[in-house]
Amino acid sequence: MIRIASAAALALLLAACGSGAQQPPPAGPPQVGFVTVTAQPVTLSTELPGRTTAYETSEVRPQVNGLILERLFQEGDMVRKGQPLYRIDPAPYRAQVASARAALSRARAGIANSQALARRYGELVEINAISRQQAEDASAAAQQARADVAAQQAALQAAEIDLARTTIRAPISGRIGRSTFTTGALVSAAQVEPLTTIQRLDPIFVDIQQSSAEVLDLRQQLASGELDRGGAAARVQLKLENDSTYPAEGRLSFTDVSVDPTTGSQVVRAVFPNRQGLLLPGMYVRAEMVEGTRADALLVPIRAVTRDERGNPTTMVVGPDGKLQLRILTAPRTVGQNWLVTGGLKAGDRVVVEGGQNLQAGTAVKAVPYRAPAPAGAARPQPAAAATAKAD
């Protein structure tokens, strides 16, 4: 009994001591990190798929019939405009030229006689030695002889053209492909299959597929002044199939005037220098096209934006009273590590970047400028990031 009473007394003493201990102070408002949104010029670009296309393409076909006697080029070489490529058997065309020359000589001989006869008949009709009908017939014969000479001159010219076409020449300068016909092959002027193909690859086109809606938005933004290109054509940068960046920059050439009804896209064509021949026709590339500069863009870090149950982008803003406000944003695209915001914010708003994930609108907070984490492997901590959203 004595031990039980002593234990009870000790318990009462400890309880009394505990009641006199200090209680922990109440917790302060939660701390959040923010960045201040500022209007700034931002260059906007978009990345789209594309294919390379030769600047000029010529399918070489014969313009006369005959046997190929000789091929005068090496496949894959660079050829110049007018350079001989093939030689077709010229013997039958030389014979045609000789025949046309003989016919022209005969026509010229006939014109001399008919003109002399017409002149004599003209003198005789003045003295009524012959009838006027005979004089008119002689004059018509002289005119017909002159027409025959002109026709034979044209026939000779046509025969000489056909003879010249027995040597097939390059219509453009560029790189020539493989020859589909060999020496001894019979070719014709009406054949469908080309002898070879020449492509001019410097410069070279890149055909980019862009949706017609995006093209329409871009035109409207340029027309309204929201975007500015400074009067120059849009710049284009290429990423190649091996993820390397093409060293030369291209320029937008034109936008196709029609829309593909099956895909709803338009072809945007850019032109690139290709002095080293690195780009070949048919290559798949990704084109980063600079659309223009927005002078007063508002950028918000991606980590500061979430989506509500309807899928709308939202963010928390520290109000003037130190309480959180929920803002629904209009954010059509990203720029680097930021959202481009066109509605829901204004310059000077303090956007919560850190610490506001589980807080509700209306919560009083302690707002401090957001400090970016130090990069991995850094020798010393990085200074606090500027309290503005910067373009990447």
Domains contained in the chain, CATH given: 31-42+296-369 (2.40.420.20), 44-55+205-294 (2.40.30.170), 64-88+166-193 (2.40.50.100), 91-164 (1.10.287.470)
The rounded Cα 9 to chain-centroid distance in angstroms is 92
- 187 burial class (0-12, 13-18, 19+ CB within 10 angstroms)? buried
The mean pLDDT value for 361-378 works out to 77
Whether residue 317 contacts residue 35, with contact meaning beta carbons closer than 8 Å, is answered with no
Q: Residue 307 CB: number of other CB atoms within 10 A?
A: 10
| Angstrom distance (rounded) from CA 191 to CA 373 | 71
Higher pLDDT: 260 or 139? It is 260
Task: Judge whether residue 272 has pLDDT over 50.
Answer: yes
**What's residue 81's pLDDT?**
94
Question: Counting every residue, how long is the chain?
Answer: 392
**What's residue 295's pLDDT?**
83
| Angstrom distance (rounded) from CA 286 to CA 209 | 10
**What proportion of the chain, given as a percentage, has pLDDT over 90?**
43
- pTM comes to 0.66
| Angstrom distance (rounded) from CA 380 to CA 90 | 84
| Phi and psi angles of residue 62, each rounded to the nearest 5 degrees, phi first | -75, 150
Convert 44-82 to b/e letters by CB count within 10 Å (16 or more is b).
beeebebbbbbbeebebbbebbbebeebebeeeeebeee
